[in-house]
């Protein structure tokens, strides 16, 4: 407790850190205000009826930062940007130029890679906006929209999604933590008063996933230390180096990203199928109905969710963790891993270690992700799956933010 108070004191005492924290709070406040402003022409009663016990649109509401529940100006949230990021990450596996941009050209290459993601976000936001408003119109939530009103609403919600993307990038650059994750986190936290009231005034089975927080924290904080020794060097009459330290490899290098990627990947076919479910073409309607029925099958849905979380954990770790670059940096600084030759042998050793520990992290994360779905299939309570997903995101974001604050405080103390 004393350590926590000391960290908060140091954080607030440093002008730069205090400014970053206030910037994050201000940006998140703006996103919450936008999430409370609805677009015109909504049938509120029909919307509430439609969203009740609807897992698919509950997940969409999660990614919109809570903006979907009131059909707000930012109802699409950061969903289009996340989808664009997934597409661009997958492109690194298929197009060598994108891989070179992301991994080999440093900050300038990553900045250009991020710019391509922003360009792709715009058409994806238009497509998702058209599909979503069409679904709302079919359900009677947005009745009687003229073509001009429909186009205006599309323009408004696309602009809202692009604005949220911009706020998220500003938070990442000038604030603390990952901006997109914090926007999703803010939407989840905004629903805590309701969850707390359910806990205080009566036990709700939907609160069961809360007990999963402890193992999630444990596995997210776990790491494998790799011993590193710096060779002794002589300069003049003095010796330098010779110190021993370690390279921490986290059990789950990807953090919350696999969960976000997996859910985004599952949401797209659900949205497309919901859009064409009432099509006048009987074949198209039948195919859409089959897709919706398949996705509503909890065992199948949970199996696909498990595989996607497992896959994206490995995928994102492979994209962000580069053993060759780490081995090269160690060699340039006169450091080596005891018992391992510098250079390619070190890279191979680091690659084998990260592969083994990521298997454990990916398996645990995937199991935690599907446990609420298993509980939902046993109890029939729809909100359990959403609660488990939200829990995973909240825990990962809080731990990531805590690590970033610790790093900033350590730099300033040093």
Q: Tell me: do 224 and 185 sit in the same domain.
A: no
Separation of alpha carbons 71 and 35, rounded Å: 8
Number of domains the chain contains = 2
Q: Are both 250 and 374 inside the same structural domain?
A: yes
Cα distances (Å, whole numbers) of residue 83 to 77, 79, 315: 11, 6, 15
Same domain flag for 208 and 184: no
Distance separating alpha carbons of residues 83 and 125, to the nearest angstrom: 9
Whether 93 and 140 share a structural domain = yes
Give the separation between CA 370 and CA 395, rounded to whole angstroms.
16
Q: What pLDDT does 163 receive?
A: 92
- Considering the chain, what is the average pLDDT of its residues? 76
Q: Distance between CA 17 and CA 107 in Å, rounded?
A: 23
Q: Is the pTM of this model over 0.85?
A: no
342 backbone dihedrals φ, ψ, rounded to 5°: -65, 160
Q: Are residues 252 and 367 in the same domain?
A: yes
Min mean pLDDT across 105-109, 111-115, 214-218 is at: 214-218
If asked whether residues 230 and 354 sit together in one domain, one would say yes
* 227 phi and psi angles, rounded to 5 deg: -65, 140
pLDDT at 73 over 70: yes
Please check whether residue 227 lies inside any domain of the structure. Answer: yes
Q: Tell me what pLDDT residue 205 has.
A: 46
User: Of 133, 130, 129, 131, whose CA–CA distance to 42 is shortest?
Assistant: 133
| Same-domain pairing of 56 and 76 | yes
Cα 192 to its chain centre, rounded Å, is 19
Residues 329 and 350: beta-carbon distance below 8 Å: no
Domain closes at, from 190, 223, 240: 190
The reply to whether 220 and 180 lie within a common domain is: no
What mean pLDDT do residues 9-35 have?
83
Q: Are residue 374 and residue 412 in the same domain, yes or no?
A: yes
CA distance 176 to 139: 40
Residue 36 lies in a domain: yes
Calpha distance 349→330 (Å, rounded): 13
Nearest 10 degrees: Cα torsion 399, 377, 57, 76:
30
CATH number, domain containing residue 235: 1.10.3370.10
Chain centroid, CA 358 distance in Å: 18
Domain that holds residue 277: 202-414
Last-in-domain residue among 168, 190, 212: 190
Give the closest residue to 314 by CA, choosing from 344, 349, 356: 356
Whether residue 197 is contained in a domain is answered as: no
Residue 180: closest CA among 193, 191, 169: 169
Q: Worst-scoring range by mean pLDDT, 55-64, 284-293, 401-410?
A: 55-64
What are the residues facing 335 on neighbouring strands? 230
According to DSSP, the residues that pair with 127 across neighbouring strands are none
Is residue 81 assigned to a domain?
yes
Q: Are 131 and 271 in contact (CB under 8 A)?
A: yes
pLDDT of residue 202: 46
CA angle 134, 135, 136 (to 5 degrees): 90
d(CA 296, CA 110): 38
Per the domain annotation, does 195 fall within a domain? no
pLDDT digits (tens, 9 = 90+) for 266-321: 777 777 777 777 677 788 778 877 877 777 777 788 888 889 989 988 888 887 78
Q: Which residue intervals of 244-340 are DSSP H helices?
A: 257-276, 282-295, 298-320, 323-332
φ/ψ of 239, rounded to 5, equals -100, 135
Residues 106 and 44 in one domain: yes
pLDDT, average across residues 68-76? 79
- Of 190, 213, 248, the position where a domain reaches its end is 190
373 or 33, higher pLDDT: 33
Sequence-ordered list of residues with C-beta below 8 angstroms from that of 385, at least 6 positions apart, any chain:
55, 372, 373, 376
Whether residues 163 and 235 share a domain: the answer is no
The 10s digit of each residue's pLDDT in 226-264 is 888 877 665 655 655 567 788 888 887 877 778 778 877
Please indicate, yes or no, if residue 196 is contained in any of the structural domains: no
170 and 128 belong to one structural domain: yes
In a domain, 62, yes or no: yes
Task: Select from 68, 81, 78 the least CA-distant residue to 27.
Answer: 78
- Establish if 31 belongs to a structural domain: yes
Residue tagged 């398949």 (tokens)? 294
Identify which has the larger pLDDT, 393 or 181: 181
């Amino acid at each position: 407790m004393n350590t926590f108070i000391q960290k908060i004191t140091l954080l607030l005492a440093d002008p730069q850190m205090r400014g970053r924290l206030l910037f994050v709070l201000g940006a998140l406040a703006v996103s919450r205000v936008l999430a409370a402003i609805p677009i015109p022409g909504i049938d509120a009663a029909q919307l509430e009826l439609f969203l009740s016990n609807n897992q698919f649109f509950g997940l969409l509401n999660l990614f919109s930062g809570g903006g979907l529940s009131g059909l707000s100006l930012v109802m699409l949230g950061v969903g289009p940007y996340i989808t664009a990021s997934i597409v661009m990450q997958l492109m690194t596996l298929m197009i060598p130029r994108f891989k070179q941009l992301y991994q080999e050209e440093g900050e300038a290459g990553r900045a250009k890679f991020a710019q391509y993601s922003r360009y792709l976000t715009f058409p994806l936001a238009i497509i998702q906006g058209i599909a979503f408003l069409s679904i709302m119109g079919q359900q009677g939530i947005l009745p009687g929209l003229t073509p001009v009103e429909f186009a205006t609403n599309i323009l408004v919600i696309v602009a809202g999604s692009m604005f949220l993307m911009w706020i998220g990038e500003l938070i990442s650059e000038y604030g603390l933590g990952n901006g997109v994750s914090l926007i999703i986190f803010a939407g989840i936290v905004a629903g805590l008063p309701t969850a707390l009231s359910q806990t205080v005034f009566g036990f709700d089975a939907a609160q069961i996933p809360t007990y999963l927080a402890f193992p999630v924290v444990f596995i997210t904080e776990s790491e494998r230390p790799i011993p590193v020794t710096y060779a002794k060097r002589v300069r003049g009459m003095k010796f330098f180096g010779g110190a021993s330290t370690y390279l921490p490899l986290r059990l789950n290098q990807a953090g919350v990203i696999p969960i976000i990627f997996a859910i985004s990947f599952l949401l797209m076919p659900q949205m497309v199928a919901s859009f064409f479910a009432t099509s006048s073409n009987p074949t198209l309607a039948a195919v859409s109905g089959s897709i919706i029925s398949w996705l509503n099958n909890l065992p199948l849905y949970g199996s696909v969710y498990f595989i996607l979380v497992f896959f994206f954990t490995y995928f994102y770790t492979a994209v962000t963790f580069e053993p060759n670059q780490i081995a090269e940096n160690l060699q340039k600084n006169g450091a080596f891993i005891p018992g391992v030759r510098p250079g390619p042998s070190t890279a191979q050793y680091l690659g084998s270690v990260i592969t083994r520990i990521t298997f454990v992290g990916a398996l645990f994360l995937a199991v935690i992700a599907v446990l609420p779905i298993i509980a939902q299939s046993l109890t029939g309570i729809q909100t359990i799956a959403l609660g488990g997903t939200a829990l995973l995101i909240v825990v990962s974001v809080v731990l990531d933010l805590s690590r970033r604050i610790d790093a900033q405080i350590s730099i300033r103390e040093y």
